[in-house]
Amino acid sequence: MRNFWGNISLALKLKFGIVPSTQVYESKLKNIWDDVEFIREFSKGDLWKEYEEFGKAKHLSKEERKSARIRIKEIVQSESWKRYTKLKKSSTIAEFLRLEETFSDDFECEKIDEAKWLTKFFWGETILGKGYSHSEEFHNYTEGKNLRFKNSTLIISTNEEENTSLSWNKKYGFLSRKSGFTSGIINTGKSFRQQHGRFEAKMDFNHTDGIYNAFYMIGNSASPHLNIFKVSQNFELGLINGTKDKDNNQSKVSLNLLKENSYIAGIEWNDKEIKWLLNGVVVKRITNNLPNTPLYLVFSSGVYKNVKGTESNDFLIDWVRCYKKN
């Protein structure tokens, strides 16, 4: 029942245009951060220091007090001061002022930043020193060969092509497997993990039958698994916290409700709740069974249904940014 009402709520927010366009939200987000930067710089600038010095000054002569009053009046009537005092009243700006960036990537290089990203599963790197895939899926990961860069964007391609690689089978362990598809994955399992904060990324997807694109967070085990943005047969987001339905809180709606192929998706996570954001709008929230461990970022694409003759699929990540509250 909980998931049913979550699905209804998500569907209604998408259907009736409560979620703004990606272009509108990205412009708004840029303006917010510009304002935050202005406030931070203004409070360290000469005008602010001058105002504070006048306020702290003692034993001024009559003429000096008169000059100080004139100068203070000039300061508070300046455009910079007016902008500062207006922004300080904004609850939105106040929230963003509390955020401290902890991780980011704008993918402006021509190759993956290996100090930030693994191009294989974390446990493949840790245990085997090489990549693997899951036997229940139909692709093999190629440890970076399916990644490319264009216009400051990372592209993860899923292609129909023969490949042999390791696959994890729950019954038999690691086995060599020949697959008809290849794809890519990146994660921050070695470089960055965080519990609580704001995590956000801009992504473009092209839906292809049988192929999924996903942005999620995970820790040292299969759960908790935070789906932040996943397109497959449906659009999915939520928390997978075990093998039982009562432990999970996933929302799943028709892909047809997504009006664009580009979204800025993320979560705000604290010790009381997790809120899912789509172009800045809260589309889901949960307060029960919250993760109590730091999680890392994963972007991946893959094949969940064996559909021969399928077109290549490109999953684009424009940027990713993470923050913690101070």
Residues 270-287 pLDDT 10s: 999 999 999 999 999 999
End-to-end CA distance of the chain: 37
Distance CA 297, CA 280 (A): 19
Question: Which pLDDT value is given to residue 1?
Answer: 47
Report the alpha-carbon distance of residue 266 to residue 277 in Å, rounded: 5
What pTM was estimated for this model as a whole? 0.93
Strands 173-183 and 139-141: parallel
pLDDT digits (tens, 9 = 90+) for 86-109: 999 999 999 999 999 999 999 998
All residues at 6 or more sequence positions from 294 whose CB lies less than 8 Å from its CB, including other chains? 193, 194, 195, 219
How many Cβ atoms from other residues are within 10 Å of residue 277's Cβ? Answer: 23
Give the helix/strand (H/E) hosting 26.
Answer: helix 22-42
Distances (CA, A) of 203 to 22, 228, 231, 297, 318: 10, 11, 11, 14, 6
Chain centroid, CA 301 distance in Å: 16
For 217-264, what is each residue's pLDDT tens digit?
Answer: 999 998 999 999 999 999 999 999 876 777 789 999 999 999 999 999
